[in-house]
Amino acid sequence: MATVQEKNKAVVQKYFEEYWGKGNVSVVDELCADEFVIDYPMHGPRRGKKAAKQMLLEFREAFPNISFHAYKFPLIAEGDYVVGRWIGGGKHTGVAFDDLAVGKLDKPNTGKEVYFSGTTIFTLKNGKIVDEIGEEQALTALQQLGLVSPPNPGKEVKRFRKDMGLIPCEYSRYCVCNQQTVVEIRRLLISIADRADGSQSWSNQSQGMVAVQLLKNLYGYRTNDGQSTRPRGAMHILQYTGQLALVRRFMHGALKLWDNLSYSWWSQEAPMVIFMLAKASEISCSFGFIAG
């Protein structure tokens, strides 16, 4: 027989997949208590089922492709609480939007993209979600939308972590976020996902999300004094065509796959890209490279 914690995790899993993943607001009526409260810094608290549904409907009216997915860690349950980690985002192609902690998008269809991750704590009573309280990198999201100034020049934020257990310590201490190269990384990801019939093995939305995640955890190595560097043992492939050839060689030769990520579910895509870029030399391949 399933424990209360297992049942609670199943409720949260369904809620998250339907509400945040698919935009199905009707799941609120099924899985949430009448006194349900949803609270994120970027939007502020919303009380009641109607307010929770309205929040997401307005969000998706401005960002039609907005979607969020479980990321990196499994759900953790203790007592009446379930904790989950997630990642996602979308592009502003809809109506003007002002449901933000700072500023507003006062024109429709600005084309601005926002991708971020966060952590949420759910409280459940009698199998229903009572509240959903999360932290969603609001500052990062607002900076991407141009509503908050980015860091001062030369004050890039270092990434001090080993992402997914794939990037060794000597790599991760040099990682910084360089959002200006999203387009170039995305071009690489789109190209290696091309199939012979012209179709794509993953969606534009996923390409964008993985591009941002790749940048945050891999791209732009710097020493502590700001000088460019690269991980020990990695070649720096300067030509885009050279990068593409090596990725294709790796995916076909090492993994026996023509297209790179079709076998994996969404949250494994970023780790897979990071793995093949940062750690290829450690899995019996003769090359390792970083995207330049």
Q: Which of 69, 70, 115 is nearest to 91 (CA)?
A: 115
Q: How far is CA 125 from CA 17, 39, 82, 200, 291, in A?
A: 20, 18, 11, 43, 48
User: β-strand 289-291 against 235-237: which pairing, if any?
Assistant: parallel
Q: What is the pLDDT of residue 76?
A: 92
Contacts of residue 202, defined as CB under 8 A and 6 or more positions apart, other chains included, come to 193, 261, 262, 269
| 27-41, 110-124, 165-179, 215-229: range with lowest mean pLDDT | 165-179
Mean pLDDT for all residues in the chain: 66
Contact in structure between 231 and 174 (CB atoms under 8 Å): yes
Q: Which tens digit of pLDDT belongs to each residue from 176-205?
A: 333 333 444 445 555 544 445 555 444 445
Q: How far is CA 133 from CA 6, 81, 139, 251, 263, in A?
A: 20, 11, 17, 40, 33
Q: What is the pLDDT of residue 270?
A: 42
What confidence category does residue 12 fall into, taking pLDDT thresholds of 50, 70 and 90?
A: very high
Alpha helices in the chain, H assignment, sequence order = 4-15, 22, 27-31, 49-62, 138-144, 169-172, 182-192, 204-217, 240-253, 269-278
| 14-18, 91-95, 118-122, 252-256: range with lowest mean pLDDT | 252-256
Note the residue count of the chain.
292
Contacts of residue 7, defined as CB under 8 A and 6 or more positions apart, other chains included, come to 127
Q: Is the pLDDT of residue 44 over 50?
A: yes
200 compared with 110, residue with greater pLDDT: 110
**Segment 65-72 mean pLDDT:** 82
**Segment 80-104 mean pLDDT:** 89
CB-count exposure of residue 52 (10 Å: 0-12, 13-18, 19+): buried
User: β-strand 76-78 against 81-91: which pairing, if any?
Assistant: antiparallel
Contact in structure between 11 and 129 (CB atoms under 8 Å): yes
Structure tokens at 228: 């460019």
Q: What is the DSSP string of 2-28?
A: --HHHHHHHHHHHHIIIIIIH--TTHH
Cα–Cα dist 78/229, whole Å: 44
HEC sequence for 58-88? HHHHHCCCCEEEECCCCCEEECCEEEEEEEE
Q: Which of 129, 136, 131 is nearest to 114 (CA)?
A: 136
Q: What is the pLDDT of residue 153?
A: 52
CB atoms within 10 A of CB 291: 22
Q: What is the pLDDT of residue 187?
A: 52
**Segment 269-283 mean pLDDT:** 41
Dihedral sign from CA coordinates of 209, 211, 212, 217: positive
Residues of the chain above pLDDT 90, percent: 32
Q: Which tens digit of pLDDT belongs to each residue from 129-167?
A: 999 999 988 888 888 888 887 665 544 433 323 332 333
* Domain locations in the chain as residue ranges: 4-144, 163-291
Does domain 4-144 fall under CATH 3.40.1190.20? My reply is no
253 compared with 127, residue with greater pLDDT: 127
Residue 53 amino acid letter: K
Angle at 124 between CA 121 and CA 33, to 5 degrees: 115
Question: What are the φ and ψ backbone dihedral angles of 219, each rounded to 5 degrees?
Answer: -75, 145
